[in-house]
Structure 1
Amino acid sequence: MADIEFKKVVKSYGDVKVIKSLDLSIKDKEFMVLVGPSGCGKSTTLRMIAGLEEITEGDLFIGERRVNNVHPKDRDVAMVFQSYALYPHMSVRENIAFGLRLRKMPKDEIDTLVDEAAKTLGLTPLLDRKPKALSGGQRQRVALGRAIVRKPSVFLFDEPLSNLDAELRVQMRAEIAKLQKRLAITSVYVTHDQVEAMTMGDRIAVLHDGDLRQVGTPLELYDTPANLFVAQFIGTPNMNVAKGNISEDGSKISIGSIEFAVPAKWKDACKANAGKPIHVGFRPEHTLPDDEHDWKNTARLSGHVDIVETLGHEVVVYVTIEGLDKRVIAKADVHKTPTPGDAMSVDVNLDELHLFDGETDERLSS
């Protein structure tokens, strides 16, 4: 079993706590993605698993073993770096075999393992080439091959695709996810790209300022974000958020000069928080022109178009709303593209609202 357990783990540099008190369980054979903005502590968390950063407080377990003071080479983990970290004077074969040679493994065993990894990754025709003769995607495959041949208990990935172009990134993230499922090895993957996180992870851990803000499946994070940070971090384009208030009797919600009845699923939460300030969230796909949906429970927002982004299959429209003094993001039919400056009304699907406490930013209990 290669499950990973953080128990109240703290990482400090002097007086600065980069990781404040991390409790996180990663299951055996799971693909866990750590995501968050730059400086949130995700790479530090990964490096603590690898043993490249010391733990200031708390305990870290890999399987049944507490590894706080275990040397990196004895943790049975393999790491794939952002920079590939290939030796330029070695061939692909020599790069993949390097770690095995350090272990003084017999040559015939090394050759067998390297050939297996090369076949798995489509590197067989490239085994005699040097890294300078490879594309970025091929170099990344070599880095993966070097990790695979070790047959570790845990794979660690530190933003391995950030140096690739957009098209190759899409291709490689699918290959890595497929490879992880095939090998069934516990994997922890760090990225700042929430699209990468959503498409690759079995579960996602969202970090912010050294705190774990939410852990869940991609759909759980998208459908029921636990707080305002996760709500706005997960999803492209970002969720619209407006400051609002619940009426004194808990029956209505107002944002700016716009007022509407509390949707059915939020009635109990709004009664419990009657008269309080809240944040009202609604995603762009739940904000559409009135002739492009069949929703029954809506609120009408009217204003003028500021920016139009045509994405081929759809249009993203930024609309400044009268009575709200806020710009919201809506989606529209690509064949009905508005022009900046046009008057425009959009409807918000009230059955898809997200409500957060106005002071704590935590999701109200629906």
Structure 2
Amino acid sequence: MASIKFENVIKSYGDVNIIKGLDLDIQDQEFMVLVGPSGCGKSTTLRMIAGLEDITEGNLYIGDRVVNNVHPKDRDVAMVFQSYALYPHMTVYENIAFGLRLRKMAKEEIDQLVTEAAETLGLAHLLERKPKALSGGQRQRVALGRAIVRKPSVFLFDEPLSNLDAELRVQMRAEIANLQKRLGITSVYVTHDQTEAMTMGDRIAVLHDGNLRQVGSPLDLYDTPANVFVAQFIGTPNMNIVKMKVSEDGGKLTHAAVEIDTPAGWKDGVAACKGKDVYVGFRPEHVREETESEWTHTATINGKVTIIETLGHEVVVHFLVEGETKPMIAKMDVHRTPRVGDTVTLHINTNKLHIFNGETQERL
């Protein structure tokens, strides 16, 4: 097994820096998810681990070895691609065994490894079929089997579920996560889907514009986002973010539509921003038509309902408030749904606020 370490890694194409000084430690046997919007550099980061992209500056370690100039085949990594990359003229058995045959392993050993992988992945009854006779989920399992039989030090996953339908994605992400736990192989998984990231990763590294914005457990990122970008990227629906002014004494946060007493836990941070703007965030589940019993500090806000999304167990309501052009979002009781065009009075749980510097957008 192996850890992975990026040490001030830069990746450039000409004058354009795609990765801008990445420092990241991935622990042995950890499942690390790289997440971020398209173009943020996450796939480039994965390909540098695989050796498919050169490093412009800095060092990349796999275990104790610097691998900047190590050939991909000598890095002991296995990669699972978005497109499956199966050979259409080969059977499932032949696809899984292909890398082992290249290594000129004995037939008996290949048979044993392929059989074990096929049983683990529920493919034992499909070994004689060709890829065209398989479903998308079965093809993805074959791609996983081809990686497993190599018994690598590191698994790399490049958006492997994006070609599957929604129900199958849910099933496969659970299977991949459970498989990684059983095998205990250090894994790096790239996705733009923050739901995948939250449900699969031991830790998540959020990338944006080639920079690492935050790394931590799923709950770390959800409960204590380090900046406005992470706050809005992690969580469905998105966190509400509104610019507010800090009073001259630091005791209040004001906006055209709402005034909030500065929560006790934020007073020291807010004190440095007296008279300045800050960004205040609150998640949709902390905005209700009626306050919850444990909500000891609240503020009220009025808004006009613009969109209603019924999800069965709850309703997501978009409402526009004075001074804003973008609607805010609340979660409401499915049996107490307003109508589009209604003006509603909502309560914000101010014990659950997130406050960010108005200039740097970093958490106070």
TM range (shorter): over 0.9
Structure 1 pair 215/91, CA: closer, same or farther in 2 (3 Å)? same
User: Secondary structure at 1:182's aligned position in 2?
Assistant: helix
Cross-structure match for 1:175:
175
What per-residue deviation string (whole Å, max 9, x for no partner) do you get for residues 85-126 of structure 1?
Answer: 000000000000000000000010000000000000000000
Structure 1 pair 326/299, CA: closer, same or farther in 2 (3 Å)? farther
The 2-side partners of 1:155 and 1:30 are apart by: 10
- In the TM superposition, what is the alpha-carbon distance from 1:259 to its structure 2 partner? 1.6
Q: Is the counterpart of residue 139 in structure 1 residue 161 in structure 2?
A: no
Cross-structure match for 1:6:
6
The 2-side partners of 1:69 and 1:278 are apart by: 46
> Mapping of 1:300-311 within 5 angstroms?
300-311=300-311
> Mapping of 1:1-366 within 5 angstroms?
1-290=1-290, 294-322=294-322, 324=324, 326-364=326-364
Structure 1 pair 292/336, CA: closer, same or farther in 2 (3 Å)? farther
The 2-side partners of 1:291 and 1:9 are apart by: 48
- Whether contact under 8 Å (2:257, 2:321) holds in the other structure is no
Amino acid corresponding to residue 16 of structure 1 in structure 2: V
- In the TM superposition, what is the alpha-carbon distance from 1:293 to its structure 2 partner? 5.7
The 2-side partners of 1:42 and 1:324 are apart by: 33
- Whether contact under 8 Å (1:258, 1:323) holds in the other structure is no
What per-residue deviation string (whole Å, max 9, x for no partner) do you get for residues 160-186 of structure 1?
Answer: 000000000000000000000000000
- Whether contact under 8 Å (1:239, 1:284) holds in the other structure is yes
User: Secondary structure at 2:327's aligned position in 1?
Assistant: strand
User: Secondary structure at 1:235's aligned position in 2?
Assistant: coil
TM-score, with normalisation over the residues of structure 1? Answer: 0.98
What per-residue deviation string (whole Å, max 9, x for no partner) do you get for residues 298-320 of structure 1?
Answer: 11011211100000110000011
Aligned CA-pair RMSD: 1.1
The 1-side partners of 2:279 and 2:318 are apart by: 20
The 1-side partners of 2:314 and 2:292 are apart by: 12
- Whether contact under 8 Å (1:97, 1:146) holds in the other structure is yes
User: Could you tell me the percent identity over the aligned residues?
Assistant: 74
The 2-side partners of 1:326 and 1:88 are apart by: 49
Instruction: Structure 1 unaligned segments of length 5 or more: list them.
Output: none
Amino acid corresponding to residue 263 of structure 1 in structure 2: P
User: Secondary structure at 1:125's aligned position in 2?
Assistant: helix
- In the TM superposition, what is the alpha-carbon distance from 1:325 to its structure 2 partner? 5.3
User: Secondary structure at 1:6's aligned position in 2?
Assistant: strand
Q: Which moved more, 1:262-271 or 1:117-126?
A: 262-271
User: Secondary structure at 1:214's aligned position in 2?
Assistant: strand
- In the TM superposition, what is the alpha-carbon distance from 1:256 to its structure 2 partner? 2.4
What per-residue deviation string (whole Å, max 9, x for no partner) do you get for residues 168-221 of structure 1?
Answer: 000000000000000000000000000000000000000000000000000000
- Whether contact under 8 Å (1:356, 1:363) holds in the other structure is yes
Amino acid corresponding to residue 131 of structure 2 in structure 1: P
